[in-house]
Amino acid sequence: MEYHVTINGSDQAAGTAAAPFRTINHAAQLAVAGDTVIVHAGTYREWVDPKFGGDSSQHRITYRAAPDERPIIKGSEVITGWQKVSGNVYQATVSNNLFGNYNPFKTVMQGDWMTSNQKRITHLGSLYVDGQCYYEAESLDALQHASPRTKAYDYMSSTDVEEPFPDATAHQWFAEVSPAETHIYANFPEGEPNAKLCEISVRPAAFYPRRTGRNYITVQGFEMAQVADPWDPPTVDQIAMLGPHWAKGWLIADNVLHDAKTCGISLGKDYTTGDEHGPLRPGYQYQLEAVFAAREYAGWDKSRIGSHQVLRNEIYNCGQAGIVGHMGAVFSTIADNDIHHIGLMREFGGWEMAGIKLHAAIDVRLIHNRIHDTLLAIWLDWQAQGIRVSRNLMYHNHSGLYVEVNHGPYLVDNNIIIGERVVDNLSQGGAFVHNFFAGAYGHEPVLDRFTPYHQPHSTAVKGFAAIYGGDDRFFRNIFAFNDEAKKEEQGTVQLSGLPESIADFSARVKKDHDWPADLVGYEKVTQPIYLADNAYLGGTEPAKQEQQPLVSATPVKVGITEEKDGVYVTLDVPEALTKHDLAVLDTTALPPVQIANADFEAPDGSVIRFDHDYDNKAGAHRLIGPWQQLHSGENRIKVWD
């Protein structure tokens, strides 16, 4: 069955091309496996809540834009009737009936790992004026006096920093909520607001099933915007602008998603696995319980959850994350997405903010995504096992890749990461192969948190362990000097003196501590670091235990520019690097990870060959780094179309 939806249709019509429906959600209450819902151009202000799912990847329900049309689903409603209060401040009133039982202008943002909620109040609502998101003023008095918000929240230090918000003096709003009405005040420096398109966010989602288990749904070709979704830590029901809500086999492709209060796409989790937070217990404890609840009560395994495809979407202007998910993203592929301008309004903050923030990323493939102008590009937190992060471009971020309390194996290959910090490694069991790193690499153990690891390619929990540090592999990477970063944290020199083999590690434990050592010895001796065939350019330095690294102290210029036809990297390359080609490496050369006792391999258990470069071009030999071909001197390389 094929249903059509147009902005001028009627939900009392037949839903055909000649007699289309008016709302997408009406079609979503009828569509069953095998049906297609074609949505035509227009702005649809609704929450699409599919009643049914598909039966398989071949027998799914498809929601797609009509050819050459771009329907827009908004979580907002138009607000009119502005009346001048004083100066440039105007006020408009709406009935609380507009919100139902969810008024985002009354609801305060809060939750686990949200570190700013002790310092300021932020509500879930937003005001958009001609598409521009205004800042929430700290008080009505501050709004009326056009007082700038001079302090931005810095989640990395959990403090306010003196940094005036862009446009914060002029473009602000404040809300007062009474039992029957919500009063919106706003500063309009450009004058009369009734001639502008003013919208307030009303709904927490645009396309998101309220019920779990709506499997095999395709969402393709839409624009979605302006939702008032809540803070999404891994301990609560993670609702976002768009997502499957604890299901299997969704295809989310070719959409433009922007202006979510927190998250654009959510690939997890279900509230039945836990939907509560402190203060009685730390969020860490709730998160541990969620893992067991998911296995015991919520059907968390490959037959029921995950295996989604998130492809070719543009996601931007989200306050927390472009893509988020705890447990629900397992076995999924996230590829060819452009994710940018995440977390930059800085009205709120906490330890859940990134372009892509995943917990329990088991056998996930993050392939060829561009992530830029965010706080963190990719954050893999807890239980990243069997994941492959390959051929991604990350730049203009505070940190490129942040891996926290994972035991591996996790594989990072053929990526380009440029910035002040390229990798923050608070994990073990990683392999970094054929990457280009220009920035600082951080490395530290985490001995106060025991996190789960799994049976290979499974959600079944195998055990728990602290992060002793080490057990990482660095093969054939280019480390290039970046003057934004600290010199002593570039390259691998900071790993000097750590064990270089299992034999070396065992000898140190036995020599320096009572044997058998139990936990104490292992906590005091870092696991081995394996290094081979890395290149260090422009003054970056290798760890002292690396044998025969390629080192060039000649200064290099690393640049990245966005131009009309794409993104380019410029790099000075010494002649020695262009001649240092090597036979193709595969994962049999990577030692198994120590704690999880698992191999580096594809999700089907096969060997991964590193015979394709960043551009996905194959070759019988490979240069060090992510590119198949480089020439001596300055190289100008197109890295994104």
Q: 133 pLDDT exceeds 90?
A: yes
* Cα–Cα distance for residue pair 24/243, rounded to 1 Å: 16
For residue 606, the 8-state DSSP code is P
* Cα–Cα distance for residue pair 240/260, rounded to 1 Å: 8
* Cα–Cα distance for residue pair 366/161, rounded to 1 Å: 33
Least confident of 27-41, 269-283, 573-587: 269-283
CB atoms within 10 A of CB 142: 15
CB atoms within 10 A of CB 359: 30
* Cα–Cα distance for residue pair 114/504, rounded to 1 Å: 42
Q: 516 pLDDT exceeds 80?
A: no
Mean pLDDT (the chain, rounded): 93
Q: What is the pLDDT of residue 525?
A: 87
pTM: 0.96
Residue tagged 């929240």 (tokens): 153
* Cα–Cα distance for residue pair 552/537, rounded to 1 Å: 5
Q: What is the pLDDT of residue 160?
A: 55
Q: 157 pLDDT exceeds 60?
A: no
**Residue 260: both structure tokens together:** 């979510």
Q: 118 pLDDT exceeds 70?
A: no
* φ, ψ of residue 106 in degrees (nearest 5): -105, -25
147 vs 91, 117, 172, 356, CA distance in Å?
17, 21, 9, 34
Looking at residues 184-205, what average pLDDT do you find? 94
Q: Do residues 263 and 318 touch, judged by C-beta distance below 8 A?
A: yes
Q: 101 pLDDT exceeds 80?
A: yes
Q: What is the pLDDT of residue 169?
A: 56
275 vs 152, 280, 317, 329, CA distance in Å?
29, 14, 26, 18
* Every domain range in the chain assigned CATH 2.60.40.1180: 78-201
User: Sheet containing 633-640: which strands, arranged edge to edge?
Assistant: 558-563, 566-573, 633-640
Beta bridge partners of 566: 563
Q: What is the pLDDT of residue 275?
A: 84
* Cα–Cα distance for residue pair 202/208, rounded to 1 Å: 15
Q: What is the DSSP string of 172-226?
A: EEEEEE-SSEEEEEEE-TTS-GGGS-EEEE--S-SB--SSS---SEEEES-EEEE
Q: 159 pLDDT exceeds 80?
A: no
Looking at residues 15-22, what average pLDDT do you find? 98
Looking at residues 543-547, what average pLDDT do you find? 95
For residue 387, give every residue at least 6 positions away whose Cβ sits within 8 Å of its Cβ, in sequence order, or none: 361, 362, 363, 364, 365, 366, 380, 410, 411
Looking at residues 118-123, what average pLDDT do you find? 78
Find the Cα–Cα–Cα–Cα dihedral 458, 464, 468, 472, rounded to 10°.
-10
Q: What is the pLDDT of residue 279?
A: 73
Banded model confidence at residue 218, pLDDT cuts 50, 70, 90? very high
Phi-psi region of 390 (alpha: psi -120 to 50; beta: other; left: phi over 0): beta
Amino acid code (one letter) for 581: D
Least confident of 34-38, 107-111, 126-130: 107-111
Beta bridge partners of 436: 416, 478
The per-residue pLDDT for range 432-461, each reduced to its tens digit, is 999 999 999 999 999 999 999 999 999 999
Q: What is the CATH topology of the domain spanning 78-201? A: Immunoglobulin-like (2.60.40)
Q: Do residues 37 and 62 touch, judged by C-beta distance below 8 A?
A: yes
Q: 530 pLDDT exceeds 60?
A: yes
Q: 165 pLDDT exceeds 60?
A: no
Q: 229 pLDDT exceeds 70?
A: yes
Q: Do residues 350 and 321 touch, judged by C-beta distance below 8 A?
A: no
